[in-house]
Structure 1
Amino acid sequence: MTAARGRTRAGYGLRPVLPGPDTVPTTVLIGASPFNKVYSPARLREHVTWSVSQGLRVHVLFAGVEAAYRLIDAGDSPRRAVRRAVRATHEMRDACRTALAEAGDEDPDAYLHVWTKLEEHARYRELRDLATAAYRDRPEFRTAVHDELVGALRTSLNREPTLAELENSAPYILAEVPLFVDAPAILGTDSVMFLYHREPPIFLALHQGIVPGLAPSPGMGLGVLTLPAAPATAAGTAPAGTGRDALPDILDWPVRPGPHGTAPPVFARLRASSRAHRLRMPSGDLFWIFVRREDIVRVTTDRRFSRNLTGRDVPRFGPAEDFQSLPGALFNTDAPRHTRIRRVLDPCFGPAQAEEARGWLTALAGDLLERMADGPNPADLVASYAVPLALRAACRAQGIPGELQERHLDGLRARGGLTTGPAGTNALPLTVGLARDCLDAADPAASHPAAVLARARADGTLTDEEAVGTMAHLIVTGTGPVVGPVPVMALTLLRHPRELDLLRREPGRWPAAVDELLRHHHNGPMSLPRLATENVQVGDVLVRAGEAVLTPYLAALREPDHCERAAEFDIRREPDALNLTFGAGPHSCPGASFARVYLQVALRGLFDRMPRLGLACRPEDLPWNDPEDLFTRPRKLPVTW
């Protein structure tokens, strides 16, 4: 280490403590403390970014399973405490990995260290054994360890910790001691300055020689990272229109979901913004995006906003043709044409028809669950259950004959997001061809949509374009949107065991639970676009004729002014008088009743048949689909039972 230089920028600074105030490090080790807001993922990323900008070689230290001990003392069960500790470490590590990668490190993980992994290092094991023995045999060292712990435990317990609680949490400090003593040997460098947001008393006690053999090595230093004040705004929200994190007037697609398939964080920032924003799509077209519930209801119920985007000169999501360009389809028409098509289909999708389907849906789900139970364990819930159940249910409900079901699967594989590229472009003719063949093969006496549309085409109520286009849209919306909710909702229930236990005790709550799951996730962050047919004032925005708008229902369902504790998952929540889960206005989803029954059957059947169902990996390790896809879901959901 060499002579000091000034190290302050934008409120950050580094104050050397040991060996002395004139010390300047070349390598630092940031001690990242979980459940401390100073080391939230966002702030930790800033710490690393600033340190790298000062020319420092940055390592970061994360707690191992020992972090769970404090949570257990605070009342968490061991299983829950471990899960929370693992999750906190994973999120902090991701933030640091991103910061190091952005700084040009090709292998960021080489500089990110978890106590558990350090057990592989002989010097770490040696020093940890010495610390453990000193805690057992030296009262003065035991007192120093307790002094280090008492503040954090007092905060988490909201009272003075007992001696037993201090002793239970002592391994947290003992696991860190080796890095206070000889981080250079453990990390393989000449010198290291340990950085923390305050001076740890235990480090100072070791420096004073409280335990022979645990004095810091000559290359070991201590520094305090002085931090800028946290913004005085709601958690996760930046001041609207100010600062380097202010939202630009034009955002770029895609809108990325939040953790575990929840609402995109940008929705909260858009809602807090003092001005309107637009979203630039891959086509280059700009769409107004409205996230306030009042604005969303206004747009979706105002007939001056059209769902007919089939023209060649209208704004489009992607450069290729997609299902928004399919003429005559129910979802791409307006009144009176839309009213006429909807009147033909409505008898297929009422509450009574949905209840009639409950029996055969239960049988389909039961068959798939038995096969899954007899197969490999762990298994992928998406491939073993969610996809085949959605396909079988769609074929049965819509009237797709058995000989055409393989083509339906091919179309499902080809369909992607709204910004479809070559695969999605290929899906359009595939699905239209399948729709036409379904109508041609329909049993004239049947009551499913294919038969109803075929009869309406035959008697002239609907044109060929309307019947085929609507059947094609039913094929798309009756399968793809139904695959995702099962694994996403199963994941949410597994992540909320108290809610799941309540459902097991009171199965009559399943309908309310499904409604809350739909509110919590919807089935994706984005809605179908609408086109202004004349100038319309929406809130503070004048939407001009020919401009496109987006009204994500998930944003409306999460609006805090209309939903108390909107970000929380609570199956006891009172139902909303205006439920926007399935839309509002003339284009609300015709299959809402069927979708609710389907999800009730699929989820209840899953947890009844497999009461010990659990995740086979950490939720943070799940692979999710491309954010450009319209429907959010994990690509795989490994489970065990």
Structure 2
Amino acid sequence: MEIPSPVVLDRTGADIHAEAALIRERGPVARVELPGGVLAWSIVGLEEARQAMADVRFSKDPRRHWTAFANGEIGADFPLIGWAMMDNMTTAYGADHSRLRRLTAKAFTPRRVEAMRSKVEAIAADLLAELAAVPAGEVVDLKARFAHPLPSRVICDLFGVPAEERAALMRGGELNVDTTLTPEEAAANLEQWGRLMAEFVESKRREPGDDLTSDLIAAQEEDGSRLTPSEMVGTLFLLLATGTEPVMNLVTNAVATLLAHPEQRKLVQSGQAAWTDVIEETLRVEAPVAHLPFRFPVEDIEIGGVTIPRGEPVLIGFAGIGRDPAVHGDTAATFDVTRANKEHLSFGHGVYRCIGVPLARLEMELGLSALFERFPDITLAVEPEELEPQGTFIMNGRLTLPVRLTGPGA
């Protein structure tokens, strides 16, 4: 069977959903071209993605299983080099992945997450109190003022990141998902981010605290499962970044979508639909991660009617998966909180499923309910189609979220 020409991924992420639909026209598993002319595969079919993510023959270790990278064909000038160079459980395979996941999963046990409830409520209340001081009718960027600082403060408190270091440490994660960076900018960000994170780890070694970074350091000797210095830094890369960016996009996307669909908002505010319905439908129709790098088959694998050769990079197209018409029919792209089947894979599946799901759901539910309770008349300050995309094909979010919290005469 002839393979259609690859879809060249738009580095600016100008229209995530149109791009996913274009890929789907070529099949649930299709060729794409990454920045730098690197060929890869994208999976946008829900069942095909579930199959791939559950298949132990898919590795996430580029050092062992990305043929071109291991052979030196992918150099430091590859714009997404950070996704290959990180050393944590999302770039590990087999026993190494199990070891790292076992250590990091302790941060997100049900007991520990539930203990965070009052912390999340307090942070949300503080942010909303700051917003309440904004003059009536004034336009504010809700992403910058609420959707970002809510998960950022929660995860930084959890890992003991000092207030004065937070902006710099979190900035590295934000730049790592920016697919418009030049190779030089991407390499410089990775170097600086790694240096700052290593300095943070050393400060915690010298002065441990009641936080999860100190716990991870203490756990390095536990059961002989020692984290190497590189793994420690890489693990913190992962947990701080994934603890902020996806939740930020979920809150931003949920608010933007509700404000653009007043009939859906009315269902929630009248109690006919629950905030859990909003969260699941947002995860489905506006997945916070659009295109996640990378997986690598350790042998030739047939999936979705095509054979992906051993050692070639694969991306999971979550933005396309949630809108798969094979699962959700002709209304797959429609936001509907009353939809019976809200099936999605936006938190992953299988052994690489996101370990922070319980905390993310808690932040979403508490944050959204508190926001709309405090500001029931909140409106968009621009037309929905004027909201600018985040500027990356990896994430699915908005650059800003301009709103008016109350009417000008309130």
Which range, TM-score by smaller chain?
A: 0.7 to 0.9
**Greater Rg by CA:** 1
What is the aligned counterpart of 1:268 among 3, 21, 35? 21
1:250/1:409 CA distance change after superposition, 3 Å: closer
The residue number in structure 2 matching 1:368 is: 127
Give a deviation string over 1:334-388, Cα, whole Å, max 9, x none: 1110101111111211333333222111111111111112124221112222232
Secondary structure of the structure 2 residue equivalent to 1:278: strand
Cα-to-partner distance string for 1:167-213 (whole Å, 9 max, x where unaligned): xxxxxxxxxxxxxxxxxxxxxxxxxxxxxxxxxxxxxxxxxxxxxxx
Aligned to 2:192: 430
Pick aligned residue for 1:358 from 103, 117, 121: 117
Question: 1:288–1:549: 8 Å Cα contact kept in structure 2?
Answer: yes
TM-score by length of structure 1 reads: 0.56
Count of residue correspondences:
390
Q: How many Å separate the matches in 2 of 1:387 and 1:276? A: 33
Residue 388 (str. 1) matches residue 149 (str. 2): yes
**Amino acid of the residue matched to residue 210 of structure 2?**
A
- 1:591 offset after TM fit, Å? 0.8
Q: Distance in 2 between matches of 1:435 and 1:356?
A: 26
Q: For residues 69-468 of structure 1, what are the structure 2 equivalents within 5 Å?
A: 249-254=5-10, 264-273=17-26, 277-310=30-63, 311-312=69-70, 313=72, 319-320=78-79, 322-376=81-135, 377-412=138-173, 414-418=175-179, 420-421=181-182, 422-442=184-204, 444=208, 446=210, 448=212, 450-459=213-222, 460-461=224-225, 462-468=227-233
Structure 1: gaps (5+ residues): 1-240, 242-246
Deviation at 1:389, TM superposition (A): 2.3
1:519 CA drift (Å): 0.9
TM-score normalised per structure 2: 0.86
Q: Equivalents in 1 of 2:221, 2:272: separation in Å?
A: 45
Cα distance in 2, alignment partners of residues 615 and 300 from structure 1: 37
Change (3 A) 1:300 1:419: farther
Structure 1 distance, partners of 2:28, 2:394, is 26
1:571 alignment partner, SS class: coil
Counterpart of 1:516 in structure 2 is 281
CA distance in 2, matches of 1:604, 1:418: 33
Whether contact under 8 Å (2:24, 2:30) holds in the other structure is no
Q: Does 1:581 align with 2:343?
A: no
Q: Measure the CA separation in 1 of the matches of 2:257 and 2:355.
A: 26
Please provide the CA RMSD for this pair: 2.8
Mapping 1:54-73, distance limit 5 Å: none
Aligned AA (1:394): I
The one-letter code sitting in structure 2 at the alignment partner of 1:495 is A
Distance 1:507 1:424, change over 3 A: farther
Amino acid at match of 1:401: P
Are residues 275 and 488 of structure 1, via their aligned partners in 2, closer, same or farther at CA, if it must alter by over 3 Å? closer
2:332 equivalent in structure 1: 566
Match of 2:66 in 1: none
Q: Secondary structure at the match of 1:563?
A: helix
Contact 2:291/2:393 (8 A) holds in 1: no
1:637 aligns with 2:401: yes
The alignment status of 1:555 with 2:317, answered yes or no, reads no
Distance 2:395 2:76 in 1: 15
Q: 1:488 aligns with which of 253, 262, 265?
A: 253
Q: Which amino acid aligns with 1:441?
A: S
Q: How does 1:586-601 map to 2 (within 5 A)?
A: 586-601=351-366
Provide the rounded CA distance (Å) in 2 between the counterparts of 1:289 and 1:629: 12
**Does the CA contact (< 8 Å) of 1:416 and 1:424 recur in 2?**
no
Give the AA of the match of 2:334: E
Deviations 1:52-99 (A, max 9, x none): xxxxxxxxxxxxxxxxxxxxxxxxxxxxxxxxxxxxxxxxxxxxxxxx
* Residue 497 of structure 1 pairs with residue 253 of structure 2: no
1:412 positional shift: 4.9
2:253–2:398 contact (8 Å) kept in structure 1: yes
After superposition, the Cα gap between the structure-2 partners of 1:558 and 1:279, relative to the gap in structure 1 and judged at 3 Å, is same
Runs of 4+ in 1 over 4 A off after TM superposition: 255-259, 314-318
For the residues of structure 2 that align with 1:303 and 1:343, how far apart are their CA atoms? Answer: 17
SS at match of 1:574: coil
SS at match of 1:530: strand
Any idea what the Cα deviations from partners look like across 1:482-519, whole Å, max 9, x if unmatched? 32222222110101112212222228711221111111
**In 2 relative to 1, CA 403–458 (structure 1 residues): closer, same or farther, beyond 3 Å?**
farther
Residues 583-607 of structure 1: CA deviation (Å, up to 9, x unaligned): 1111111111111111112221211
